[in-house]
Chains A and B, each alone.
Chain A
Amino acid sequence: MSKATHSLPRTIAAHAVLIAYTVIALFPVVVIIINSMKSRNAIFRTPLSPPTPETFDLVGYTTVLAQGDFFLYFQNSFIVTVASLFFVLLFGAMAAFALAEYRFKGNTLMGLYLALGIMIPIRLGTVAILQLMVASGLVNTLTALILVYTAQGLPLCVFILSEFMKQVSDDLKNAGRIDGLSEYRIFFRLVLPLVRPAMATVAVFTMIPIWNDLWFPLILAPSEATKTVTLGAQLFIGQYVTNWNAVLAALSLAILPVLVLYLIFSRQLIRGITSGAVK
């Protein structure tokens, strides 16, 4: 170990920067969680102190669980996120594979066209989307949300994955062809495992905006049966009075599932089983 890269001041400085960043990033989350477990008075009087035996109160959680159908909201959010994610990754990876692997006329143009969505926010088309959903009878269904989110996530997915797919060795795909694997098996069995880290990155980038979205649930699926968590939490924000205990409790609960999904994908990010296929 060389001294230059492991001197004590450097180590301390590096850790100081990282710790400072962690504190800044976690601060709002921690504030939400500690305040969700305090009584209403304590939230306003000492918003930064952790709950003490006097101020500890789970009234927010009991309100959330009693009022409104929060489990249903969770379920809705979960279904929408997971289904959209599945379709984004499946179709995005397939399109990326075709763009990266096959030579055909207009390949580059098609790639640019598919990536166009990165630059144009899908919300610009809200009115047209709503008309489309009304016409097809999909208003107040989870299907509507899944379709919109799939469309929203695809451009970035195609863009990132096609770059990664180009790096997968041609020899490996050709070896598969000589061994008689179909193009589908080459895609699913040889190429997808090799771009798994990229898929996990795309999954994280795609998942979080979907889970947090308020706009499309509010417009396309505001019915009681199809409310998502973010929309459900709005229940407690009133025009005159806001039930902060309940809002904070709902938000704390909403962090959990997305955290679990993130942990699943981040494991994939780290996994290095792909090394050694080719030199």
Chain B
Amino acid sequence: MGSLKIENVKKSFGSVDVLKGIDLEVNDGEFVVFVGPSGCGKSTLLRVIAGLEDATSGNVLIDGRKVDAVPPSDRGIAMVFQTYALYPHLSVRNNMSLGLKQAKTPTDEITRRVATASSMLSLEPYLERRPAELSGGQRQRVAIGRAVVREPKLFLFDEPLSNLDAALRVNTRLEIAQLHRRLSATMIYVTHDQVEAMTLADRIVVLNGGRIEQIGRPMELYNSPANEFVASFIGSPKMNFIDGAHLGEPKAKTVGVRPEHLTVDAKSGAWKGTVIHAEHLGADTNLYIDTEKAGLLTIRIFGVYDAEPGATLYATPNPAKTYRFDADGKTLA
């Protein structure tokens, strides 16, 4: 009902190549997250799928139908924007129903769909209000509701949580996850936040510099990153990267260890170092240790660990969980 296929899509703005050949298949009902640093082309790719930008070359197929020349409103998509983009002069009800009215949907059908969507998102008390009279979280729910009533083949989310504060972000993330389960619709979600990507996605597409670095399930990306970029992007705090030559690893240019795969001991270990800073988060503790052999390391310890800056500690990596990268950044087997 809502599959998507992207074939060698390229997009240039003047002489700047923003997308350098993207191939991707999204299955019906899948939740796919595009993640990458700013300027990696993830939003542009989403806009190309939506039809808001024309691809310079390549094809976009929704449900097997080529939509390159189809206007956004006829592609069977709905989009939720970072800035909500509600129509300021319309009430919540009319914001949600405008698209259906444009598509000449019968009135009772519109009423039914708006009622379903607003009860799903607990928007009933606000239906007659204008966007200006709503809080940020409510506005974003209206924006999601406007997408839901269209009953699209494909939901597109463009960083929908970026404008919300931390607590609301967690709630809305949960709502989006539940929405996906309830509607079992195909969803494509763009974010620069790897936590959102890990928590929501069936599959993650990591983009960098207009190319796809890796596609995979969240745990695949975490456990077997294809290259140094993916390894550094997925996981928080970031993976430690150590010069291979320092560690006597002739084949590896760089060796990577995640902060949670390092253990510390006061007496003995692989790398001796001094504590620079300790962050106590309650559930876990982040230590920053300057080691002689491996440079500055971030270490994540579960639970409380008392370490004063200046103390000497030994860090030991878990040998089964270290990654080796060649000179091009590719992961070595």
Tell me, rounded to whole Å, the shortest Cβ–Cβ distance linking B165 to chain A.
12
The minimal Cβ–Cβ distance linking A270 to chain B, given in whole angstroms, is: 16
B52 an interface residue at 8 Å Cβ cutoff? Answer: yes
Contact A179 to B89, CB < 8 A, known contacts A169-B83, A174-B79, A275-B132: no
Interface residues in B, total, Cβ within 8 A:
34
Give chain A nearest CB distance to B14 CB in angstroms. 9
Contact A172 B85 (CB under 8 A): yes
Q: How far is the CA of A190 from the CA of B87 in the complex (A)?
A: 7
A185-205 residues with Cβ-Cβ distance < 8 A to B are 189-190, 193-194
Q: Restricting to B63-121, which residues have a CB under 8 Å from any CB of A?
A: 71-74, 77-79, 81-89, 98-99, 102-103
B128 part of interface (Cβ distance < 8 Å): no
Query: B133 near A: Cβ within 8 Å?
Result: yes
Closest to A174 in B: B52
Q: Is the CB–CB distance between B131 and A276 below 8 Å?
A: yes
Q: Which of B5-26 contact A (CB under 8 A)?
A: none
B130 within 8 A of A: yes
B50 touches A (CB below 8 Å): yes
A204 CB to nearest B CB, Å: 23
Instruction: Tell me whether B88 and A274 are in contact (CB under 8 A).
Output: yes
Please name all residues of chain A whose beta carbon is closer than 8 Å to the beta carbon of B56 when the two chains form the complex. none
Partner of B78, one of A169, A178, A181: A178
**CB <8 Å contact, A276 and B52:** no
In the complex, whether A45 has a CB less than 8 A from a CB of chain B is no
Q: Which of A175, A181, A279 is in CB contact (< 8 Å) with B136?
A: A279
A178 touches B83 (CB 8 A): no
On chain B, the residues within 8 Å of A119 by CB distance are none
Q: How far is the CB of A193 from chain B (nearest CB, A)?
A: 6
* B307 CB to nearest A CB, Å: 41
Chain A residues near B83 (CB-CB < 8 A): 169, 171-172, 278-279
In the assembled complex, B184 has its CB within 8 A of some CB on chain A: no
Name the one of B88, B99, B132, B136 contacting A178, with C-beta atoms under 8 angstroms. Answer: B99
Closest B residue, CB atoms, query A179? B99
Interface string of A242-279 (1 = CB under 8 A from B): 00000000000000000000000000000001111111
B77 lies within 8 A of A273 (CB): no
A contact residues, total (Cβ < 8 Å): 22
CB-CB under 8 A from A278, the residues of chain B are 83-86
Say yes or no for B27: interface residue by CB 8 A criterion.
no
User: Which residue of the partner chain, among B52, B73, B82, contacts A180 with CB atoms under 8 Å?
Assistant: B73
Which of A179, A181, A193 meets B88, CB within 8 Å?
Answer: A193
Cα distance A155–B102 in the bound complex, in angstroms: 35
User: Which A residues touch B77, using CB under 8 A?
Assistant: 178
13 residue pairs from A and B, CB less than 8 Å apart:
A174-B81, A175-B79, A175-B87, A178-B78, A178-B79, A180-B74, A189-B87, A189-B89, A273-B89, A275-B88, A277-B85, A277-B131, A279-B83
| Extra A-B contacts (18), CB below 8 Å, given A172-B85, A278-B83 | A172-B83, A172-B87, A174-B47, A174-B81, A174-B85, A175-B85, A175-B146, A177-B51, A178-B73, A178-B79, A179-B98, A180-B73, A181-B102, A275-B132, A276-B133, A277-B131, A277-B132, A279-B84
Residues of B within 8 A of A (CB): 47, 50-52, 71-74, 77-79, 81-89, 98-99, 102-103, 130-134, 136, 139, 146, 158, 163
